[in-house]
Amino acid sequence: MQVKTKTMGTVEVAEERLINIPSGLFGFEEYTDFALVDSEYEPLIWFQSLQEPNLAFLLIDPFIIADDYEADIDDSELLRIGIKDPADVSVFTIVTVPGDGGPVTANFQGPLIINKKNHLCMQAILDGSKYTTKHNIIEALRRKEAK
Q: What domains are defined for the chain? A: 2-146 (2.30.290.10)
When pLDDT is averaged across residues 65-71 and rounded to a whole number, the result is 90
How many CB atoms lie under 10 A from the CB of residue 112?
23
52-61, 88-97, 133-142: range with lowest mean pLDDT: 133-142
- What is the model's pLDDT at position 17? 98
**Residues 6 or more apart in contact with residue 143 via CB below 8 angstroms:** none
Look at residue 145 and tell me whether its pLDDT is greater than 90: no
Q: Residue 77 is inside which H or E element, if any?
A: helix 75-79
When pLDDT is averaged across residues 76-99 and rounded to a whole number, the result is 93
pTM of the entire structure?
Answer: 0.92
Q: What is the DSSP letter of 15?
A: G
- What is the model's pLDDT at position 11? 95
- What is the model's pLDDT at position 141? 81
Annotate 84-112 with three-state secondary structure: CCHHHEEEEEEEECCCCCCCCEECCCCCE
CA distances from 126 to 15, 61, 110, 119, 131 (A): 30, 16, 6, 22, 8
When pLDDT is averaged across residues 3-31 and rounded to a whole number, the result is 96
Amino acid residing at 58:
L
> Per residue in 93-105, pLDDT tens?
999 998 888 899 9
Beta strands in 24-138 (DSSP E): 33-38, 45-49, 56-60, 89-96, 105-106, 112-115, 121-123, 135-136
When pLDDT is averaged across residues 116-120 and rounded to a whole number, the result is 97
